[in-house]
């Protein structure tokens, strides 16, 4: 199972990224790697990138997928539990990709099935396969050694941030977290970073660190996770970058975003050499090919 980034050692990550580079160089060469593999796609929350790139990845490995489809048209709507749903789908498939609004859902699913479960996002918890493609993108752009990384936006509810921060500790990256006070990293993630000995600083203002960064990882404010819409409105639109602001950054700054973006990155950044977020999304295919290849 792949439930959280803490499971991944530096060697695990490098093995997946190296394999992904092989797939990236020549995806057609692996068209028969897993001809009988069937991947279950179980998305209890919306997705474009994660679902479609896993689907593409298994098909590029010669396998196929079955999709649970929208919750509204599945038997979840009749009250079937997650555990029962997973047990049934595990009987049809060789591995399950699960996205669910509840933190801990992937761990629970893994406890009930005997096929690998990949956590494709569990509420505000973790999104470890996103982390692998994030690291692949960083490695392509600037290497993974001696990095100073700024992570900005919704650090409280942003599961991509939680996984990425934990994985970056294995590369001894220096991390600057930039967010409103109300959206700081959750206590458990701060604790894990502290325990790992990571060099971590927290800020409310990007200007304080922008010029030092090799990578700026911007995230969306996760509106759907706020218990109170007024709390969302109080911070919406506060943390936004545009080309003018990036004039103060290093020329080789890599700007990333797991996407979807709402208004955190102005479209004028897309035309700069800083923009790596679409390439990041495309890297989801070779990286998820490598992950599936390793788990299957």
Query: Helices 128-142 and 159-169: crossing angle, nearest 10°?
Result: 60
Q: Is 176 designated active site?
A: no
CA end-to-end span of the chain: 11
Looking at 19, 34, 49, 220, which residue binds ligand CP (CB under 6 A)?
A: 49
- 258 contributes a contact to ligand CP by CB under 6 A: yes
- 65 contributes a contact to ligand CP by CB under 6 A: no
Find the shortest distance in angstroms from Cβ 259 to ligand CP: 5
- 130 contributes a contact to ligand CP by CB under 6 A: yes
Q: Is 170 designated active site?
A: no
- 47 contributes a contact to ligand CP by CB under 6 A: yes
DSSP class of residue 115 equals S
**Which two three-digit tokens encode residue 90?**
């595990």
Looking at the Cβ atoms of 122 and 214, the one nearer to ligand CP is: 122
Alpha carbon distances (Å) from 164 to 4, 126, 177, 218, 250 = 10, 9, 12, 12, 22
Q: Is 156 designated active site?
A: no
Question: Which one of the spans 47-55, 80-88, 103-111, 213-221 is the region binding ligand CP (CB under 6 A)?
Answer: 47-55
Active-site residue, from 49, 51, 174, 257: 49
Looking at 20, 50, 156, 163, which residue binds ligand CP (CB under 6 A)?
A: 50
Looking at the Cβ atoms of 50 and 85, the one nearer to ligand CP is: 50
Using CB under 6 A as the binding criterion, the count of chain residues that bind ligand CP stands at 9
Looking at 105, 161, 253, 259, which residue binds ligand CP (CB under 6 A)?
A: 259
Q: Is 78 designated active site?
A: yes
Find the shortest distance in angstroms from Cβ 239 to ligand CP: 18
Instruction: Identify the CA nearest to 291 among candidates 123, 141, 139, 128.
Output: 128
Active-site residue, from 1, 34, 100, 127: 127
Q: Residue 166: CB partners within 8 Å, gap ≥ 6? A: 4, 5, 6, 131, 189, 192, 193, 196
CB-based contact 182:117 (threshold 8 Å) = no
Find the shortest distance in angstroms from Cβ 75 to ligand CP: 23
Distance CA 288, CA 87 (A): 23
- 48 contributes a contact to ligand CP by CB under 6 A: yes
Q: Is 49 designated active site?
A: yes
DSSP symbols for 39-79: EEEEESS--SHHHHHHHHHHHHTT-EEEE---GGGSGGGGT
Placement of tokens 């790139």 in the chain: 53
- 81 contributes a contact to ligand CP by CB under 6 A: no
User: What does the binding site for ligand CP look like in residue numbers (CB under 6 A)?
Assistant: 47-50, 121, 130, 258-260
């Amino acid at each position: 199972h792949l439930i959280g980034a803490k499971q991944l050692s530096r060697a695990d990550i490098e093995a997946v990224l190296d394999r992904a580079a092989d797939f990236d160089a020549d995806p057609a060469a692996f068209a028969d790697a897993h001809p009988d593999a069937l991947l279950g796609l179980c998305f209890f929350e919306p997705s474009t990138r994660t679902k479609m790139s896993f689907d593409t990845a298994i098909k590029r490995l010669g396998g196929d997928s079955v999709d649970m489809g929208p919750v509204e048209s599945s038997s979840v709507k009749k009250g079937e539990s997650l555990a029962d749903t997973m047990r049934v789908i595990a009987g049809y498939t060789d591995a399950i990709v699960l996205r669910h609004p509840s933190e801990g859902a992937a761990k629970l699913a893994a406890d009930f099935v005997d096929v690998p479960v990949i956590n494709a996002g569990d509420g505000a918890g973790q999104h470890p396969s996103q982390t692998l493609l994030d690291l692949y993108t960083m490695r392509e752009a600037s290497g993974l050694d001696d990095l100073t990384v700024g992570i900005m936006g919704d650090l409280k509810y942003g599961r991509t941030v939680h996984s990425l921060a934990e994985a970056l500790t294995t590369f001894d990256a220096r991390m600057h977290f930039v967010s409103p006070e109300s959206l700081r990293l959750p206590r458990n993630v701060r604790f894990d970073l502290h325990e790992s000995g990571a060099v971590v600083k927290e800020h409310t203002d990007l200007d304080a660190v922008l010029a030092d960064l090799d990578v700026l990882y911007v995230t969306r404010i996760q509106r759907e996770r706020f218990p109170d819409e007024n709390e969302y409105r109080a911070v919406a639109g506060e943390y936004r970058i545009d080309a003018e602001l990036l004039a103060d950054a290093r020329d080789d700054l890599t700007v990333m975003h797991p996407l979807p973006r709402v208004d955190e990155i102005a479209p004028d950044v897309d035309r700069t050499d800083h923009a790596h977020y679409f390439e990041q999304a495309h890297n989801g295919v070779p990286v998820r090919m490598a992950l599936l290849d390793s788990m299957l």
